[in-house]
Structure 1
Amino acid sequence: MQARIYQPARNAMQSGNAKSNHWVLEFAPASARSVDPLMGWTSSADTQAQVKLSFDSKEAALNYAKDHGIAAIVQDPKKRKPNIRPGGYGDNFATNRRTVWTH
């Protein structure tokens, strides 16, 4: 039984980093999915593929995997550079602007 430990990416529709500070342990599928001939739905006999465990830190997830004999692969997140402007959003409406502000 193999699993991967990763930190989920932020929502693409939001600029903040909320709900992306936890770590997830997710099991790799042990068997391939099959297509139901009548309805066309995909299914699998592997119930571990449905399990996602959430942890507060990477160390907690690694300790859980070690204690339960789970071979885990850690995928470290790619950190992005923060986009902080010197004036910020309020600078768009400052009364002492020297340039014309247009859309």
Structure 2
Amino acid sequence: MAARIFQRPQSAMQSGKARTDEWVLEFEQSEARRADPLMGWTGSGDTQSQIQLTFPSKDDAKAYAERYGIVARVHATPPHDLKLQAYADNFR
């Protein structure tokens, strides 16, 4: 079982920061997706790829993975650069 641990990014659709302090443990797919011949939907028999576990910190997520023997890779959170400018700068 392989998994990845990452911090939930800010939603592109809203400016709020809700749930961005959570860390997520998400299992990777163990088998390829395939198209259903009748409906055309894609799917697989892998049910673990549907699971997302949330933790309050990165250390808690790593401890959970170690406790249950899950090989997990931690993805670093990219720095968020805030570009401050005045409204008047749009008309220069």
Q: Taking structure 2 as the reference length, what is the TM-score of the superposition?
A: 0.86
CA RMSD of aligned residues (A): 1.9
**Structure 1 partner of 2:47:** 47
Q: After superposition, give the CA deviation of every residue in 1:29-78 in whole Å (9 maximum; x if it has no partner).
A: 00001111110011111111011000000000000000000000000111
- What is the distance in 2 between the residues matched to 1:76 and 1:16? 21
> Could you tell me how far apart the structure 2 residues matched to 1:21 and 1:83 are?
21
CA distance in 2, matches of 1:83, 1:13: 18
Q: Percent identity of the aligned residues?
A: 46
Greater Rg over alpha carbons, structure: 1
1:84, CA displacement in angstroms? 5.6
Q: How does 1:83-98 map to 2 (within 5 A)?
A: 83=83
Higher mean C-alpha deviation, range 55-64 or range 10-19: 10-19
The C-alpha deviation readout for 1:5-37, integer Å capped at 9, x for no partner, is 001110112223221110000000000011111
Q: d(CA) in 1 for partners of 2:15 and 2:79?
A: 14
Aligned to 1:34: 34
- Map 1:53-92 → 2, pairs under 5 A: 53-83=53-83
Distance 1:81 1:41 in 2: 39
| One-letter amino acid matched to 2:27 | F
In structure 2, the gaps of 5 or more residues are: none
Matched residue SS, 1:29: coil
Q: Residue in 2 aligned with 1:3? A: 3
- AA of the residue aligned to 1:62: K
Q: Structure 1: where are the runs of 5+ without partners?
A: 93-98
Count, aligned residues = 89
